[in-house]
Structure 1
Amino acid sequence: MLKFYFNGSPNPTKVALFLEEAGLPYEAIAVDTRKGEQFQPDFLKVNPNAKVPAIDDGGAVVFDSNAILLYLAEKTGMFLPSSPSLRGEFLSWLMFAATGVGPYSGQAVHFRHFAPEKVAYAINRYIFEAQRHFGVLNERLAGRKYMVGDTYTIVDMDVWGWARMVPFVLGEEQWAKFPNLKRLVDEINARPAAARAIGLKDKHTFKAEMDEEARGHMFRHLAVKAG
């Protein structure tokens, strides 16, 4: 059975969405990054980058949420573009989400909510870039139902992973700027598979406190700097 290493953050949740949508059997293995479980030797064999998510599909190991989505879609033939002529658009938007939406949103969250110092330049830069990327998605969805073609694909799942977090990334009032993106997020949120994907974290106990132990595991550059 496929082993799925996860926590409740956006990147693992979009992989959980695919697994639930596709009805693939899987074993969910919680990795509590606030306890440092991502650095355990057994997990590093699955992902040497010490990040979730990762999967072990009968010995085929894949890490990075975007790579996992593409791997599973191609393996199952599900949630791919409806026409081969859309392959270029499909890959372009998948990589846009992978290299732009996710990283800039994640950095915006870090500097807004978790950085030990409030660095105005960093906050402004990453919020600006996160807004810009969400704006590009919003424009893309103007007059179209899905990101690529007329069918629901892994690109929509990839976008959903972080876009559903817009209030946390940018602030609750920011949804007003992205009505087309919110329409897509609301549609996916209404799918039963999305509810199961979001609820997966509630079946496991994760450390809730962002205390010194958690910061030491999640922000290891601080320890390196101190040393």
Structure 2
Amino acid sequence: MAEQTQPIDLYYFPTPNGRKVTIMLEELGLPYRLHLVHIGRGDQFKPDFLAISPNNKIPAIVDPEGPGGVPISIFESAAILKYLAQKFGRFYPADPREQVAVDEWLFWQMASFGPMLGQNHHFALYAPEKIEYAIKRYRDETHRLYGVLNKRLDGRDYVAGDYSIADIAIFDWSNGWERQGMDIAEFPNVAAWNARIKARPAVEKALAIQVDLDAKVDLSTDKDAQAVLFNQRSR
């Protein structure tokens, strides 16, 4: 297993995607430095950040002790989780069949559970025009996805065998069930799994991280932040 002597630089904002990486770093007990990228103020478009995250999204990391001892920058939360898991030999199985199961649920989160819940948030909470069809479409899809997860967790403590990067990826998205219009009582397996992960000391520590948001953005009313975050075109 690799050892880390220099801190990893984490470019972060307190969103579910950002918290995935703080949870992983805390689980691994690694030294890291937190760099706040205030996405409501446009920090994600600054040249220094785009050099390591060309899709102008958080999170991103720079590992000064990358492969061969050469620094490496990584963007996309799933890529970061998988890199760290494989480097340090934890939360990702060695058996190829077990790897497939973890990858399936990791990619399920990236392709479905995150984007669809994000659209749910956007149309139900932030969009200046309340489009009932869009709200219902994404709320229904959120409900369907919670059902998929609930069924998967029937008789299982974790989504793919032992606790893994798949659970870490999915977990904080499920903390927003009330804002997503979900009744968690409909999904008892998800509720039990969420509580199981939330009780882990490393997860508690990651969720407790406080950052200076410099007048926190209210996306439902802050027009400047909406202009930064919504309806962007190629620059």
Amino acid across the alignment from 2:89:
G
Structure 1: tracts of 5 or more residues without a match: none
Aligned partner of 1:135 in structure 2 is 147
Distance in 2 (CA, whole Å) between partners of 1:162 and 1:95 is: 14
Please state how far the C-alpha of 1:161 moved relative to its aligned partner. Answer: 2.1
Q: RMSD between aligned alpha carbons?
A: 1.4
Residue 211 of structure 2 corresponds to residue 203 of structure 1:
yes
Question: Contact conserved, 1:32 with 1:207, CA < 8 A, in 2?
Answer: no
Residue 74 of structure 1 corresponds to which residue in structure 2? 86
1:65-115 CA distances to partner (integer Å, 9 max, x unpaired)? Answer: 111111111111111136433122121111111101010011101111101
Give the letter aligned to residue 54 of structure 1.
A
Residue 96 (structure 2) pairs with residue 96 (structure 1) = no
Residue 203 of structure 1: SS of its match in structure 2? Answer: coil
- Which of structure 1's runs of 4+ aligned residues deviate more than 3 A? none
User: Is residue 2:184 matched to residue 1:175?
Assistant: yes
Paired residues for 1:104-143 under 5 Å: 104-143=116-155
Residue 209 of structure 1 deviates from its aligned partner by 3.0
Amino acid at match of 1:75: K
Q: Give the match for residue 4 of structure 2.
A: none
Please give the secondary structure, in 1, of the residue aligned with 2:193: helix
Give the Cα–Cα distance (whole angstroms) in 2 for the partners of residues 207 and 40 of structure 1. 20
Q: Corresponding residue for 2:176?
A: 165
Q: 1:12 corresponds to which residue?
A: 18
Tell me how many residue pairs correspond in the alignment.
218
Separation in 1 of the partners of 2:178 and 2:77? 22
Q: TM-score, normalised by structure 1?
A: 0.91
Mean CA deviation greater in 212-221 or 59-68: 212-221
SS in 2 for 1:55: strand
* Superimposed CA distance per residue, residues 36-87 of structure 1 (whole angstroms, 9 cap, x where no aligned partner): 1111111111111111111111231111111111111111111113643312
Question: The residue matched to 2:58 in structure 1 has which SS?
Answer: coil
The alignment partner of 1:167 has SS state of: coil
Q: Is the 8 A contact 2:10 2:32 kept in 1?
A: yes
SS at 2:208's partner residue?
Answer: helix
- Unpaired runs of 5+ in structure 2? 1-6, 65-70
Percent identity reads 39
Report the counterpart of residue 53 of structure 1 in structure 2. Answer: 59
Cα contact 1:34–1:207 (8 A) shared by 2: no
RCO higher in structure (CA 8 A, sep ≥6): 1
Q: Which residue of 1 aligns with 2:68?
A: none
Q: 2:9 aligns with which of 3, 27, 40?
A: 3
Partner residue, 2:198:
189
TM-score (norm 2): 0.88
Contact 1:97 1:158 in 2 (8 A): yes
